[in-house]
Structure 1
């Protein structure tokens, strides 16, 4: 084993320890607000594409054929997966993932928390992969004009912003604060 025996804990899953971020009160608030701004920007970009799709006009060179593509329910599915992953990740107790919960003698609770964390990030990664695949298959391969490619770009940027928002919120909430009190008996 490459770790010194003093740092070795047989209950650990990963060799690298979970990062312990300590932010002061204002940086923590900034992280929460930044995560909210990223989430709002993600929603705004996709809603903008959906509204533009609803009110789209055909290209000026082919007005007889109509609008070639619209935002449909299939375009909403990656965002829904990412939001579910976002919710799952941020509902997990951070101390359970670390295994620091003093009141829980159940080793299975740590395992379940890590499993749910994995499932949440898998939902978000699936949403991002789905939005990339959707952009390539629905918008890019058909060589639509640039105004219609925006729908796919908006979908991808929505999912990237959801993932970044989840990570920023996770780091902001998992940091130790001077206003938290740890009571131990």
Structure 2
């Protein structure tokens, strides 16, 4: 039987199916998430300090993109790869795959909306207001924080869905 799928034509190397690679991916994802959150939190604290020296401050509107990105990351990483491939009648009746794909799409929409929202906040609050130096960094930190949350989501989803050599597939 000839398959036209990409990963059947180009199989993954054997060293990719490693439990240590999975663990390293989870740790890398956590580090990227915490670094992104730290960048934004640092900018939020700096915004209300005496060193800011401008009238531009981080408000709740600036937090909304990071909240959307974090919710999107939670939604995306709650879906297993096996739910996307085939319809299974053992979990919630018929149509599990399209439900999982819909939820995955909503998670990606939340993450993309968070990143786009942080770019909009950067442009509207910092670039249009002609903020410079350290004040402009607050908007850039918002964009970098959301980008790191997005990258950590990708790394976490890929590393959690790496096939393990000792994984059991129990089907009746």
- TM-score, normalised to structure 1's length? 0.81
**Which stretch shifts more, 17-26 or 74-83?**
17-26
**Inter-CA distance 127–58: structure 2 relative to 1 (3 Å threshold):** closer
Residue in 1 that maps onto 2:82 = 95
Match of 1:164 in 2: 151
SS at match of 1:29: helix
* Separation of aligned partners in 2, 1:56 and 1:46: 18
Deviation digits for residues 89-140 of structure 1 (CA, Å, limit 9, x no counterpart): 0111221012275845944110000000000000000000000011001001
Aligned to 2:3: 7
1:138 to 121, 125, 138: 125
Structure of greater Rg: 1
8 Å CA contact 1:38–1:162 kept in 2: the answer is: yes
C-alpha contact 1:38 1:165 (8 A) present in aligned 2: yes
Q: 1:170 to 1:36 in 2, by over 3 A?
A: same
**Residues 119 and 58 from structure 1, CA distance in 2 versus in 1: closer, same or farther, beyond 3 angstroms?**
closer
Structure 1 residue 23, shift from structure 2 partner: 2.4
Name which of 152, 164, 171 aligns with 1:177.
164
TM-score w.r.t. the length of structure 2 is: 0.87
Contact kept? 1:85, 1:119, Cα under 8 Å? yes
**Stretches of 4+ moved more than 2 A in 1?**
5-8, 15-23, 56-59, 100-107
Contact 1:28 1:173 in 2 (8 A): yes
Unaligned runs of 5+ in 2: none
Distance 1:30 1:130 in 2: 30
Report the CA distance between 1:183 and its aligned residue: 2.0
Alignment CA distance shift 1:118-1:181 (3 Å):
same
Aligned to 1:28: 22
Matched residue pairs, number? 168
- Give the structure with the higher percent helix: 2
Counterpart in the other structure of 2:49: 55
Q: CA RMSD in A?
A: 2.5
Q: Which residue of 2 aligns with 1:11?
A: none
Structure 1 stretches lacking a partner, 5+ long: 9-14, 60-66
CA distance in 2, matches of 1:20, 1:43: 36
